[in-house]
Amino acid sequence: MLLLPGTMWTKPWVLGDERLTARKRRRRVKRAKNMTQDEAATKIGHAYRASRARRMIRTMIRNMYRRAVDPNTGKVRAPVVGCT
């Protein structure tokens, strides 16, 4: 474990007696040339559903706020939250 000079660290007892080592995380990304048609279709479906979900969340957030115009000055005030 890499520590700054002059610092000490004692391992908590719940981690046991084994030495802690850092592991490299490697995640292999499958490319189109290595996929079957079913895997590619599934990946496209996931991407489409994720995009649709993000759009729905944006719409829900947008519907939570409304613009309010100050009748005295005619300027747009800060958004009002929680309007129904």
DSSP state of 83: -
- In a domain? residue 19: no
Helix (H, G, I), strand (E, B) or coil at 65: strand
Helix (H, G, I), strand (E, B) or coil at 64: helix
Which pLDDT value is given to residue 46?
Answer: 96
- In a domain? residue 34: yes
Q: Report residue 65: phi and psi, to 5°.
A: -115, 150
Q: By residue range, what is the domain housing residue 75?
A: 29-81
* Total number of domains in the chain: 1
- In a domain? residue 71: yes
Among 79, 77, 52, which Cα is nearest to 66's?
79
pLDDT digits (tens, 9 = 90+) for 21-56: 777 878 788 888 899 999 999 999 999 999 999 999
Q: What is the pTM of this model?
A: 0.51
The Cα 43–Cα 35 span in angstroms is 10
Helix (H, G, I), strand (E, B) or coil at 57: helix
